[in-house]
Each structure stands twice: as C-alpha cells, then as structure tokens.
Amino acid sequence: MAVNTQEKAVREIPEATILFAGDSGDGMQLAGGQFTLASAYARNDLATLPDFPAEIRAPAGTTYGVSGFQLHFGSVNVRTPGDEVDVLVAMNPAALKVSLERVRKGGTLIVNADAFGKRDLDLAGYNQNPLEDDSLKAYRVVRIPLAKLTHETLSDADLDKKTMDRCKNMFALGLALWMYSMPIEPALEWLSSKFARKPDILEANRRVLKKGNHYGETVEEFAVRYEVRPAKLKPGKYRAILGTEALAMGLIAASRKCGLPIFYGSYPITPASEILHELSRHKNFGVKTFQAEDEIAAAGAALGASFGGYLGVTATSGPGLALKSETIALAVMAELPLVIVNMQRGGPSTGLPTKTEQADLLQALFGRNGEAPLPVIAPGTPGDCFYAAFEACRIAIRHMTPVILLSDGYLGTGSEPWLIPNAEDLEDFAPSFATAPNRTVDGKDVFLPYVRDKETLARPWAKPGTAGLEHRLGGLEKEHETGNVSYEPENHEYMVKLRAEKVERVAQDIPPLEVFGAQEGDLLVVGWGSTQGAIETAVDACVARGLRVGAVHLRHLAPLPNDLGKILSRYEYALAPELNNGQLVRLLRERFLLPVASLRKIKGLPFKAREIEKEICDMLGIPIA
C-alpha cells in the first residue's frame, strides 16, 4: 500500500446521498446511524431511510437479507432521504445487486472486494463477477479489501476471526466520514459508551474506525474529498430524532400537559414495538406500559385505563388495527378518550412488515361496524411525530373520543434534525373531570353521563371514585343524556348524528392550513403523512422554475380542515400523491366534488421527489426540467 501523506483537495458540494448496504448482520444500521450523527454535528440538514429485511438474520449473502441505511444530507433544505444515491457502500454482492438501481449514473460504488468470491456471487445470484465485466462501467467503482484491511489492523489484537470481522463496518464508516470531511469524534464517543465494559472490543472498533478514516488519505482512488457546509436551519437547540422516539416523547409531553399519567397497552408488532421500548424506559414519568397478550387486550386495557381517568394509549401496525376495531368502536360508543397509534406498513394481511405504506387511511376512517366516526390525524415528518402525538392526546381528551394517529414505518424509523421545543411553551389541556351532579330530576340532583358540552358536544368524564356520579357505560346504544340503554328508533338516529357532529366539531380548533409554494395558481398538491418531504421538494423545484404550484399537507384527515375547500378553489388542478391505491383522493372527490388527480405508488418505498415533480409537469403539459 503506497502511503501518500499529501493532503487531498476538498470540494464543496450542496448535498449528497450515501447508502450503506450489507448483510443484516453487517452492522449497516449502526454505521448509518453514526454517519447521521456526524452529519448532524456538521450542522447539515438531513433525512434518513433505514431499509431492513423482515427476517432478523436472513441467510448471509442473499439478496433478501440485505439491510440498508440511506442518508441525504446537505447545506440546503433536505426533506427526503434522497431520490438517488451518490455513494453506495456495498459490503457484499447481494447488497450491490439490490442497491445498484438507486445509485445515480456516475455515482461511486465502494465495494468490499473480499466478499466477491464464487460462493458470494452464487448466493447473490450473479452468474459472473460484476467487478470483472463491464456491467458497472457507468459508475466509479472503488474496490477495497475491507475484511483484509480490518484483519491487518487488528493483527496484534487477541480476538477471534469472527469478532474481527464484525469490526469491518467501522472501517467503512471511517472511510465514509473521511470522504465527506465529517467529524469522527461522535462515533468514537459513541463506541466508548457502547463498549465501556468490553475494553478489547472498544479498542478494536476504535482502531478500525480510525484506520478507515486514514485510508482515504493513503489511496489514489480518492483524489478529492467533499465537504457539505452547515445548513441554514432556524436557530436553536437541535437533536437528531427518530420518528418513534419523537412520538413517544410527544405522548409523555402530552401526559405532563394534561396532568394524566399514560397507560400504554401494546402487543409487539413491527414497526410499532419501538414506541413500547421507548416508553417503557420512562417509568419515572409515571408511564405504565402493558405488554398485552394480544392486540385486542392492548386496546382493551388502554380503554379500561381511560375509564379510570388515565391517558389511555395503544399502538400497533395495520393488522393489529384490524384486531382493535371492536374496542375502538366501544370507545366511540362509551365516548372515552383513547389514542390509537397505527404505524402503517405494507398490507394487506402480514404484507410487507418492514416496508412503508399509507394504505390504512380508509381503515382508520371507516374500519369499524356501524357509524363510528372518529378524528384521524397524521404526522408529516419524523420530528412532527412529536406534535402529532401531542395533538392526538389533546383532541381525545378535549372531545372525549378515540383518536387514530396514522404514522408509518418510514416516519418511525426515519430521522431528522429536530429543533427542541421549550417544554414551557406546550399547551396545557388538563381535563375537567365531573365532580358533581349535572341535572335535577324530580327535585333530586343526578348525574347524567351523556349530557354534553355546548361547544364541543363532549360528554362529561366522571372517574370511578367520584362519589355520587356512579354510572354505567357500555356498547349498547345510549339514550340521549341519561346514557341508559335505548333501542328507540328516533334516539338511535339522533345519537348517530350527534356522535358524527361531535367529531366534526374538532375542526373548530384546527389552525388554518399553511400553503407551501404558490398561494394560488395552476396546481395544488394535497398530501398527508410521510409524503410531505417529497411533495415539498417537488413543489420547491416547480416554484423555482416559475410554475404556479402549491401544496397543502393535511395533519387532520378527519374531520378535514374547514378551509381546505377554499384553498382548493384557488387552483385550476389538484393532485393527491399517496403511497396506496388512492385513498385520500376518494375523500377529496367525495367531499368537494372535484376531479382531484391521483398519483399512486405501492412499492413499500417512499416517493422520490422527482416522481411527484414529473406528475405535476405532466398535468401542466410541460416537460420536467
């Protein structure tokens, strides 16, 4: 190895996308996570997309065992994990095969040359070695004997071969950090705390990380290194945050601001389990977490806790939401607050457990027997999961209703720099529990559990333990005001409409929608959930070309915001991009009787901004830039 101590040239670039891909046991999520941290320390704006198989340790070397972590970072606004990859780090042929289509032509492939033996190629389904034919000629290929270099670095360490092998992700990470002039310190610090009790493993990882970091200086393949300047983010204190982390913190913040402890019922399911893991760490906030025997019990226990005056929360993913339906309908009938988090994933049935999709919108809105309306809200970015969770709790308690929060796998596992809110600034929304009778009947003071608040139509919440307010709730139809069981035809129709109106009135406290891009003009993009970044990137590009294109992103899907109709009327065309077969678009068409166009992607992957931009241009009859 020729040692070249000469300083390499540094080229400044506005943004870049890197993808780490390898076997699910190769530590790619870890390398990606540490690169993200370094990027955050470099003050870049960023967005990440982890992409891992449903199997924990799929057979090594196969394409279905490939685990990837994509990071888009820049000095400019970064709203998506990147349409195209600039640098792919591929730990084996399978990773190369699976990820190549994401790499832009002219992009860089850093491949672990040690992993391209005949057996590796066979496992990946390559007939011949792609490094030896011209199939990769459109890319810049850098072959690095990662395993060999890692072993050399650790030749004097008293470690077995397997342990040494496991350090090679640190070599790749070190090299990637060098390529983009990122600080190595955050990763070193992280290693120190992670392996504090295993000094020899710590030392091995540190050495390999540093070796990888120096490697770029020493080989000729890397003529230049890049630098991404800090982004112009709003001033304040930031942290990198995962969607699930933000969601869990939003629940805890809500619990503090309404003064009710959380009871969180959940049954393990990908990708919602992370919320359970996160919440169960915070018992000193009075959080009671309950790992239930099944999805139904998780929802039931949360509802039981709500009946007891707690903030009842349950979370799940698609198939689990189906199982919780009956309990949610009971919450609709009993008019108790309950927050149901659905981390959507590809469906139907077990579907694509680790892939993202937005196909549960109609299930959330209508997936219960009878007329069972409830508010549905969705976050738009990983950091926004905090505010959406907070809002879901606020609505549930203020309006005495179950609320479904539709997150998804992409938001849950994705991360971004997050401007830390001031705890003091968050709204207080303590419920006013009923403490006294609310009617006089035949000269006696009585408590009627279904007498309603004039403004919200919410019924009073009387906690067990409150003397004189003893009452019975249940799933049978309620008589207006008394809450007694009633099969009266007129009463039933009245109550159905009353419950619907109660949900409609949530719209009273939805703040005005903010339009992104052109405030009026030719085309409005209407989106919801995790597509926000891709939509805004696309609209940004259109606006930069002088097109009169705007976007609204719906936090509230039920009820829809009151000003949405007016905003739609300011544009010639409307487009609803969704990661499903067209669900929001049905709601918009039905509600506003407008020919809203639909852009659908159902591949278990998020939109590329470019795909949305192309559709906008097609609709406007102009070529994409």
Partner 1 sequence: MPPAGKKPTLPSAGKKPSLPPGGKKPAGLPGRKPAGPGGGKKPSLPMGAGGDGAPAGLARKDFATDQDVRWCPGCGDYAILATMQRLMPELGVPREKTVFVSGIGCSSRFPYYMNTYGLHSIHGRAPAIATGLKASRPDLDVWIVTGDGDALSIGGNHLIHLLRRNVNVQLLLFNNQIYGLTKGQYSPTSEQGKVTKSTPYGSVDHPFYPVPLALGADATFVARTMDRDPKHMQAMMRRAHDHQGAAFLEIYQNCNIFNDGAFFEFTERNTKAHSAIFLEHGKPLVYDNGQRGLRLKSFALESIDLSSGKWSVDDCLVYDEGSIELANIVSRMSWQKDLPRPFGVFFREDRPSYDELVQRQIDDVTARRGEGDLAALLNGGNTWEI
Q: Where are the beta strands (DSSP E) in 24-139?
A: 45-51, 66-74, 85-90, 103-112
The alpha carbon of residue 427 and the mean position of all alpha carbons in its chain are separated, in whole angstroms, by: 24
Q: Return the C-alpha torsion angle 595, 599, 600, 606, nearest 10.
A: -140
Distance CA 186, CA 34 (A): 7
Shortest distance (Å) from residue 547 CB to partner 1: 19
What is the DSSP pairing of strand 521-528 with strand 549-554? parallel
Q: Give the shortest CB-307-to-partner 1 separation in angstroms.
A: 6
- Taking the complex as a whole, the smallest distance from the CB of residue 122 to partner 1 amounts, in Å, to 42
**For residue 293, which of 264, 324, 266, 320 has the smallest C-alpha distance?**
266
Nearer to partner 1, 109 or 393 (CB): 393
Q: Which is nearer to partner 1, 139 or 238 (CB)?
A: 238
HEC string for 278-342: HHHCCHHHCCEEEECCCHHHHHHHHHHHHHCCCEEEEEECHHHHHHHHHHHHHHHHHCCCEEEEE
**Integer Cα distance of 512 and 248 in angstroms:** 26
Residues β-bridged to residue 417: 240
Residue 542 beta carbon to partner 1: minimum distance, rounded to whole angstroms:
20
In the bound complex, what is the minimum distance in angstroms from residue 343's beta carbon to partner 1?
A: 21
Encoded tokens for 148: 């060999």
Report the residue number, 242 or 534, with the smaller CB distance to partner 1: 242
Q: How far is the CB of 344 from partner 1 (least distance, A)?
A: 24
Q: Tokens for 582? A: 């067209």
Q: Fill in the amino acid letter for 302.
A: A
Strands (DSSP E) contained in 145-229 are 224-227
Q: Quote the least distance from Cβ 508 to partner 1, whole Å.
A: 8
- Select 103 or 301, whichever has its Cβ closest to partner 1: 301
Round to whole Å and give the CA distance between 456 and 459.
9
Amino acid sitting at position 443: G
Could you give the dihedral angle defined by the CA atoms of residues 457, 463, 469 and 472, in that order, rounded to the nearest 10 degrees? 80
The minimum distance between CB 176 and partner 1, in angstroms, equals 19
In terms of Cα–Cα distance, which of 377, 388, 390 is closest to 262? 390
Strand-pair category, 376-377 with 556-558: antiparallel
Which residue lies nearer to partner 1 by CB, 148 or 232? 232
Number of neighbours of residue 326 by Cβ within 10 angstroms: 14
Place of tokens 């487009």: 575
Write down the least CB distance from residue 271 to partner 1, Å: 20
Least Cα distance to 202 among 216, 187, 215 occurs for 187
Kindly state the tokens that stand for 328.
């949610």
Report CA Rg, the chain.
27
Cα–Cα distance between 223 and 166 in angstroms, integer? 29
Distance of CA 560 to the CA centre of its chain: 22
Taking a C-beta distance cutoff of 8 angstroms, is the pair 522, 572 a contact?
A: yes
Which lies closer to partner 1 via its Cβ, residue 136 or residue 473?
A: 473
Cα pseudo-dihedral 410, 414, 419, 422, rounded to 10: 70
Return the number of the residue (221 or 470) whose C-beta is nearest partner 1. 470
- Backbone angles phi and psi of 344, in degrees to 5: -60, 145
Q: Residue 429 or residue 494: which is nearer to partner 1 going by CB?
A: 494
- 355 vs 602: CA distance, rounded Å: 10
DSSP labels for 19-32? EEEEETTS-HHHHH
Residue 230 or 348: the one with the smaller Cβ distance to partner 1 is 230
Q: How far is the CB of 472 from partner 1 (least distance, A)?
A: 4
CB of 287 to partner 1, least distance (A): 8
Q: Which residues pair with 575 in a beta bridge?
A: 525, 597
Longest dimension (CA), the chain: 99
Q: Residue 67 or residue 401: which is nearer to partner 1 going by CB? A: 401
Pick from 370, 411, 323: which is nearest to 314 by CA?
Answer: 323
Our CB check for partner 1 shows the closer of 53 and 412 to be 412
- Whichever of 151 and 368 has its CB closer to partner 1, that residue is 368
Nearer to partner 1, 148 or 439 (CB): 439
Q: Which is nearer to partner 1, 408 or 416 (CB)?
A: 416
Residue 216 Cβ, how far from partner 1 at the closest point, in Å? 24
CB of 420 to partner 1, least distance (A): 5
| Smallest separation, CB 53 to partner 1 (Å) | 27
